Copies of this chain bind each other. A is one copy, B any other.
């Protein structure tokens, strides 16, 4: 029977963490936070990343938990006199932070993000890495909540031991189909930090526009950007990387080749293949794989990009190459004939030529087609799986000794998909269910939620990504389950309530998240 339910569909929790920590013991006993009585003490190593994070989170705890009491009608209040509450244990006096190793400069794939956190009158955060300390501070801030009468900031006595389940927890943002301004990219990084995501995959250029401003090849954005105002300068990119670094987030650029390069052609038309139909040129297709000058340009451009982006990984794309165009072009038909190659071989040839253009210390990431075309890839290469046959594909990639990034189930441009749909997918679980083989699983290093930009622009991108990407964030961080070795995929019912608090938390911190599951409200 359908009952009339006044109020929110899923009343939010209070002081619950998203993504859920691996081990968390929470008491009913609680402390009151009073900023004038509270101090943060750094007991061991420190650096600017840590002190900046402390300043950020102190501000959040003090100001971003929702509006305190205003003119609320008395009858709507649960009148709670805190000091008489049997669970009240006094004031929170301090947070002691023990960072046992010197800070690292940039986050990286194998970084340590674990931390221990104990909340009592003197709270303790212990980590052997700056990245773990940053994650622990986020968790610490999430434990606070307003009392029922909205007069006081409370935090429960809690012990947390936490670490991520997957190393690579990414978000792909497409800034080519629609231009996304710098403030929204920085905001996206803020939201990623709230969700403990650690890789910003910047799908910076594509067919439609080329907003990356190159020093070596300025014509690319001069002619390829939608508008002169819609570009990313070197200073913009440095600012993104710095903002990300401070939050333990890697920034990986993608320059997708040889397909998805229409906008390159505005400046360098000769790079692209002319596509033919009935003997007539009907337009442009992928880069021409037979032109040396193209590889020279890519080498020089990639060099510049690698100098700018400190991360070891670089995404060279390789997806959705329109082989039909290559098959229609007289010059390429001749080339394939002479060299006894198929169009598919041409794609492999192109990628085989492009990957070595990267520096020896740079590791490639490719979309799954590059693997599928049979290009021999180094052990370091990450293969990003995004198509429909994902379980078979992952198993194949893993069995040939390569590593997997999973994205197939996490396309945020599916506007009808809800957070719970994204939550249901767990790549290790899927592979384990089919193979029963546990040793393969470690090579699924993580995954990425993908915000393709066809229908997401500067005005709605934040709302489209959050909190739906939060489901991916929790899937990739939480639940090395003990019942079943790899966690049942369905979101637990408590998560429906917890994500409501989490969405309100993001909103209070300036991230315009959409309603997770239905009717409700946030007090901002």
| Structural contact, B460 and A7, CB atoms closer than 8 A | no
With contacts A1-B325, A463-B460 taken as known, whether A519 is within 8 angstroms of B76 at the C-beta atoms is no
**Bound-complex Cα distance A454 to B516 (A):** 10
- The residues in A between 62 and 77 inclusive whose CB is less than 8 angstroms from any CB of B are 67, 70-73, 75-76
* A 394-418 contacts with B by CB, 8 A: 414-416
CB distance from A262 to the nearest CB of B (A): 3
Q: Are A3 and B457 in contact, CB atoms less than 8 angstroms apart?
A: no
**With A and B bound together, what is the CA distance between A260 and B4 in angstroms?**
7
Q: Evaluate contact between B515 and A5: CB separation under 8 angstroms.
A: no
Contact B178 A515 (CB under 8 A): yes
Q: Is the CB of B286 within 8 A of A4?
A: yes
Pair A454/B224 contact, Cβ less than 8 Å: no
Distance A300 CA – B515 CA, assembled complex (angstroms):
35
Please tell me if the beta carbons of A72 and B228 are within 8 angstroms of each other in the complex.
yes
Q: Sort chain A's interface into a size bin.
A: 35 or more
Find A178's partner among B76, B228, B229, B521 (CB 8 Å cutoff). B521
Contact B178 A265 (CB under 8 A): no
Protomer copies: 2
User: Do the beta carbons of B325 and A263 come within 8 Å of each other?
Assistant: no
Question: CB-nearest residue of chain B relative to A507?
Answer: B459
Q: Which residue of B lies closest to A4 (CB)?
A: B262
Q: With A178-B515, A454-B518, A519-B453 given, is the CB distance from A6 to B222 under 8 Å?
A: no
Shortest distance in angstroms between A293's beta carbon and chain B's nearest beta carbon?
18
Distance (whole angstroms) from the CB of A466 to the closest CB of chain B: 10
Can you list 16 A-B pairs with a CB-CB distance of less than 8 A? Answer: A1-B275, A1-B282, A1-B324, A3-B275, A4-B260, A4-B261, A4-B284, A6-B207, A6-B209, A6-B265, A177-B518, A454-B515, A459-B463, A459-B512, A459-B513, A460-B514
